[in-house]
Amino acid sequence: MSPPPPTPFKPALLVVDLQEDFCPPSGALPVPNARDVIAPVNQLLSYPFALKLATKDWHPPSHVSFAANHAGSPPPFVSTTTIEHPLSAAHRYTTTLWPVHCVQHTRGSEFAAGFDCAKVDGTVHKGVDPRVEMYSAFCDPFRWTEAGAVSASGLEQRLKALAITDVYVVGLAMDYCVKATAEDAVAFGFRTWVVRDGTRAVGGEEGARKAEEEMVAKGIRVVSLGDESLGWVEALEASP
Ligand code: VGL
Ligand code: ZN
């Protein structure tokens, strides 16, 4: 017999950015083997999580993370820019520039074909403020500086209002938005799980290995679909 779940145990599922632009071959910012996650994610969506949410990377055309929006249109993936807090320029950090992706209302911003999005209870939009990068589904990284968040999705409050204890994160990409979302979930006090089968990295297998190591170091539990922690979810009573 495997050990019982912790009590209380009220788990939520977050499906991060499972959108066409992150899927090969057509996506603008394709994550290797991204479509492999669709079947495992659909399986997880059939479990009785207390809450199931999907996120969408949802950028305005003027977003700061697009290489094309910077002088000389530097090459994406290998170029960076410095992002400053709009109210406090002393707070700044360097971030990667990307191809134009997930522009609001475009084909590429739609959920990936075959993703059973009818089973989610809602969609959280992220990366909406053109001035800041927002990998996490919760907030931009200035949240953790004294200058404070520029943009927050309300996800923390939504989970806390339902007394969620555990957050299970899957989706794209493991080394960017899944990782940032899981790190914030831990920082906000949730027991946090990343399910390997349901995620893939921009940096391929090497990117996945490094992301896993960094997440584990922060107290995130990286597990496979067969892990006992998912047995706890399956065994919950489906809510009416
Ligand atoms: C993502 C790069 C840029 C992600 C989003 O969803 O991981 N990566 N925007
Ligand atoms: Zn993005």
pLDDT digit of tens for each residue in the chain (240 aa)?
A: 567 899 999 999 999 999 999 999 999 999 999 999 999 999 999 999 999 999 999 999 999 999 999 999 999 999 999 999 999 999 999 999 999 999 999 999 999 999 999 999 999 999 999 999 999 999 999 999 999 999 999 999 999 999 999 999 999 999 999 999 999 999 999 999 999 999 999 999 999 999 999 999 999 999 999 999 999 999 998 655
Q: Is 137 exposed, middle or buried (0-12, 13-18, 19+ CB in 10 A)?
A: buried
From residue 179, alpha-carbon distances to 7, 47, 121, 128, 208 in Å are: 26, 23, 22, 19, 10
Look at ligand 1, atom 3, and give the residue with the nearest C-alpha.
Answer: 98
129 within domain boundaries:
yes
Residue 20 lies in a domain: yes
- The secondary structure element, H or E, covering residue 112 is none
Q: Which residues have a Cβ under 8 Å from the Cβ of 83 and sit 6 or more positions away?
A: 64, 92, 93, 94, 95, 131, 132, 133
Active site residues: 17, 126, 177
The predicted model scores a pTM of 0.97
Q: Does 64 sit in the ligand 1 pocket, CB within 6 Å?
A: no
Q: What is the token pair recorded at 123? A: 């969609």
- The ligand with the least distance to the CA atom of 64 is 2
Q: Which CATH number belongs to the domain containing residue 159 in this structure? A: 3.40.50.850
Q: Is 98 in the pocket of ligand 1 (CB under 6 A)?
A: yes
Tell me, yes or no, whether 54 lies in a domain.
Answer: yes
Domain count for the chain, please give it. 1
Evaluate whether residue 65 is within a structural domain: no
Span from the CA of 135 to the centroid of ligand 1 (angstroms): 6
Domain with 168, as residue range(s), is 11-58+111-233
Question: Domain for residue 85, yes or no?
Answer: no
Report yes or no on 88 lying in a domain. no
